[in-house]
Structure 1
Amino acid sequence: MPSSFRGLPPLVWTLFAGSIVNRIGYLVTPFLVFLLADRGITGSDISFVLGALGAGHLLGPAVGGLLADRIGRRPTMLIGLIGSAVAQGALFTAPGVWTMAASALLLSTAGATVPPAAFALLADSVDTGWRQRAYALFNWGVNIGTAVAGVLGGFLAAHGYWLLFAVDAGSALVYATVVATRLREPARTAPTKASGGLGYGVVLRDRLMLLLLPLLGIQLFVYSLTEVALPLAVRDSGLSPAVYGALAAVNAVLVVALQPFVTAKLSGLPQLPVQAAGSALIAAGVALTGLADSVTGYVVSVVVWSLGEVAVAGIAASLVADLAPADARGRYQGAFSWTWGLARFSALTLGVTLYTGVGAAALWWGALAAGLLAAVAILGLRTRIAQRTEQDLDLAA
């Protein structure tokens, strides 16, 4: 194992292992459209169910961040994981569109409560200088699990959709067991009314976070186009769905193979320049999709944005953790996760609308411009972030 991950506490490795198990169970969502069609649900009814699924990714982070600070990281993770398992069963047995939409909302909401609590727990357990590496390791676990799920999902779906639900629910319960039996939550500062302990006011009053989160959101929106608009581009090039599957595999292999070594090389460098450079690579790779019309062209674009993804791994969450007061880490990570959810939702709506309505070129080159401008703007916050984090370190000392 590269030196960048050595020295991390056991809790981080436990969360790493849990993230692999949990992500291996991320099977139902990618195949949900096929399941709905198999049950005779088509057209606007599919959009209704998928819309409910997307809404949960906005509701869950806000709830998860709040609960993480109120009742604790471990209880919040357990609520989310057990709730996910219950929702899997509800979704599979749901008799109609409305009940499926309600189950999909519960599923995504419960699942999205977990990351803010897990990220806050990492911040509680790791000193500032090691947080990027801890978050990068966690991200690596997610990608390992995703790679396995990509292979496993197709096999299980061919033998019955019920297997997807069974594995999803089972993986959530296994992770919940790990959280309940292996994780010990460090002592933390309880939120108080004086420090904004009643809700997200503490985040909304933080002017630096209000500048940083939208810029991160733009970068996350650009990255989310790789999941949303790339399949449309592959289809419009006359290529088969198998090509998109192969491109996803290229991304997974690159991230899993390179993440530990790239983190080892970059972890000693200043975070914001690395974040800006990696985000610029992602934007450039996404824009190259607009020039691709063959498998080779698409592979080149995927390699470019995958390298950017590896470079920025863990940095954004680490920045948010460093800026958060000790008693508000859950809500700060909840706000960051909510930004992530909003970016994905915007890619599904605005991104697809631009692609189909205005034209693919407007989307790809607009994404490049937005990504580069956001990277430059984040660099412009470098002094303010440094002053804030250094001041916090002085106070802690």
Structure 2
Amino acid sequence: MPTPTASSLVPSSFRGLPPVVWTIFAGTIVNRLGYLVTPFLVFFLAARGVTGTETSYVLGALGAGNLLGPAVGGILADRIGRRPTMLIGLIGASAAQGALFLAPGVWTMAAAALLISAAGSTVSPAAYALLADAVDSERRRRAYALFGWGVNIGTAVAGVLGGYLAARGYWLLFVVDAGSMLAYALVVAVRLKDPKGEKPRETSQERKDGIGYGVVLRDRLALLLLPLFGVQLFVYSLTEVALPLAVHDSGLSPAVYGAMAAVNAILVVALQPFVTARLARFPQLVVQGAGSTLIAGGVALTGLADGVAGYTVSVVVWSLGEVVVAGIAAGVVANLAPAHARGRYQGAFSWTWGLARFAALTLGVAAYTTLGPAVLWWTALAAGTAAAVATAALTARVNARTAHELAA
């Protein structure tokens, strides 16, 4: 019986990707293994005697940082380079972890939380841009799907690790979180190289576009797609925000929500490589629309669930949608971007992601508590489905734009 080689162990959907992509994948797993402080932040603050109202200030600062970081990260990625931007974000977020643990009061905690999310979220636009530099347009979806797979693998393990460490002292969460960021920074510093070599001399088009986000704001197709992606990301973010509320209101224990998170992680980690390979031949935005419809339907099913079985069905549906859409949105945005503005296009996409999560935390929770759960679930279904259909309808325009860019 032949001994399996390293390449034969790699899922077919990810074979042929260059070393840069695999390095980012490995570094992402290491980094996400330490994604421990944020999920347990409410418990840590309670242990420090922070009141419910004061906790909202810290969480609000954490959300605000996710709006600031991607915007800055996109500019820095294009201005000073992908690797330096990633190093600044990782080292800055690691230092902020220590600052949060040692912070003497609520406002210093809020400032540290703002820095954690702002510095940490500068990394994604630079990493996404580096992935786009490393592969051609045909392979970008697979590269971004691999990146997302790494996030899910690390997050799944972190969920188990976090509970174990928290029971033995919250300081362990901060040590592991900061250490994982520094480990990823070391990977970036030692292993990552710019696949395009040194930055070429600035062109007239780059001078015309400047260093800000005007290049994105003048792109009408991007301005159509980003809000549509934002609506879909908002609906998906409700799985992190409103699902725990629904489980609680059903009289079920927090362990049930933990089990639902485990179901999601297992499905995504197990299925994503194979689903990505099977769907690669279909139009990307059509697949994105189908997957987003599944997510919206799964989220809406939460409103019909009143027990473990019902919640499990809803989680399975939206998890399948998550698997289907993996890597598509970021890949489409990368294909639209001029080479000199990839960081800013990915910064705009990451900012859209941050805005969607922030809206879910604020508008989503407000709708659930004031208008009622049914309003939120049906609105999510309608908005998510409409955005999915509108996204699929842009397929021809995106294909025409991509073909034009390749010809140029």
User: Does TM-score exceed 0.5, indicating one fold?
Assistant: yes
Alignment pair present for 1:123 and 2:132: yes
Where does residue 44 of structure 1 map in the other structure? 53
**Which whole-Å deviations, capped at 9, do the CAs of 1:114-162 have from their partners, x for residues lacking one?**
0000000000000000000000000000000000000000000000000
- Partner residue of 2:122 out of 113, 125, 128: 113
Q: Residue 308 of structure 1: which of 318, 321, 328 is its match? A: 321
Residues 201-212 of structure 1 mapped to structure 2, 5 A cutoff = 201-212=214-225
Paired letter, 1:170: G
Specify the code of the residue in structure 2 equivalent to 1:182. Answer: R
Q: Single out whichever of 227-236 and 191-200 deviates more from structure 2.
A: 191-200
Which among 237, 248, 251 is matched to residue 250 of structure 2?
237
TM-score, scaled to structure 1: 0.98
Q: 1:214 aligns to what?
A: 227
2:405 alignment partner in structure 1: 392
- Tell me, what secondary structure is at the counterpart of 2:16? coil
Matched with 1:274 is 287
User: Offset at 1:383?
Assistant: 1.4
Aligned counterpart for 2:171 among listed residues 153, 162, 166: 162
Deviations 1:88-112 (A, max 9, x none): 0100000001110100000000000
1:362 alignment partner in structure 2: 375
Letter in 2 for 1:37: A
**Separation in 2, partners of 1:200, 1:86:** 28
CA distance in 1, matches of 2:208, 2:151: 33
CA shift, 1:290, in A, is 0.4
Deviation at 1:267, TM superposition (A): 1.4
SS for the counterpart of 1:129 is: coil
Aligned to 1:7, the other structure's residue is in SS state: coil
Residue 80, structure 1, aligned to residue 93, structure 2: no
Distance 2:75 2:226 in 1: 17
Unaligned 5+ segments in structure 1 are: none
Structure-to-structure mapping, 1:60-75, within 5 angstroms: 60-75=69-84
Counterpart residue type for residue 227 of structure 2: P
Which amino acid is the alignment partner of residue 327 of structure 1?
H
- Tell me which of 311, 331, 349 is aligned to 2:344: 331
2:115 pairs with 1:102: no
| 1:146 aligned residue | 155
Mapped partners of 1:286, 1:137: distance in 2: 25
Cross-structure match for 1:291: 304
Distance 1:13 1:289 in 2: 36
Aligned residue number for residue 8 of structure 1: 17
Q: Percent identity?
A: 76
Structure 1 residue ranges (4+ consecutive) displaced by more than 6 angstroms after TM superposition: none
Which residue does 1:173 correspond to in 2?
182
Deviation digits for residues 352-386 of structure 1 (CA, Å, limit 9, x no counterpart): 01100001000001000001100111122111111
Question: May I ask how many residue pairs the two structures share in their alignment?
Answer: 395
Partner residue in 2 for 1:58: 67
> 2:392 is matched with which residue: 374, 379, 384?
379
Equivalent residues in 2 for 1:316-327 (5 A)?
A: 316-327=329-340
CA RMSD of aligned residues (A): 0.9
1:269 is displaced (CA, Å) by 1.6
Listed one character per residue, the Cα deviations across residues 304-360 of structure 1 (whole Å, up to 9, x for unaligned) are 000000000000000000000100000000000000000000000000011000010
Write the mapping of 1:181-260 to structure 2, written as runs, cut at 5 A.
181-187=190-196, 188=199, 190=202, 193-260=206-273
Among 348, 356, 362, the residue aligned to 2:361: 348
What CA distance in whole angstroms lies between the structure 1 residues aligned with 2:168 and 2:48? Answer: 16
Classify the secondary structure of the residue corresponding to 2:139: helix
Give the TM-score normalised by the residue count of structure 2.
Answer: 0.96
Letter of the aligned partner of 2:187 in structure 1? Answer: V
Q: Report how far residue 198 of structure 1 moved.
A: 2.1
Structure 1 residue matching 2:281: 3-state secondary structure: coil
Q: Deviations over 1:210-243 (max 9, x none)?
A: 1100000000000000000000000001100000
In structure 1, the partner of 2:143 is: 134
Matching residue's letter, 2:37: V
Partner SS, residue 46 of structure 1: helix
Asked if the contact 2:62–2:117 (Cα under 8 Å) also holds between the matched residues in 1, the reply is yes
Q: Secondary structure at the match of 1:127?
A: coil
CA contact (8 A) 2:34 2:180 kept: yes
CA shift for structure 1 position 193: 4.8
Listed as ranges, the gaps of 5+ residues in structure 2 are: 1-9
Specify the code of the residue in structure 1 equivalent to 2:402: T
- Tell whether the 8 Å contact from 2:283 to 2:395 is kept in structure 1 after alignment: no
Give yes or no for contact 2:206–2:340 (8 Å, CA) kept in 1. no
Deviations along 1:65-101, whole A, 9 cap, x unmatched?
0000000000000000000110001000000011101
CA distance in 2 between partners of 1:136 and 1:108 (Å): 23
Task: Give the 3-state SS of the residue equivalent to 1:16 in structure 2.
Answer: helix
CA distance in structure 1 between the aligned counterparts of 2:90 and 2:84, rounded to whole angstroms: 10
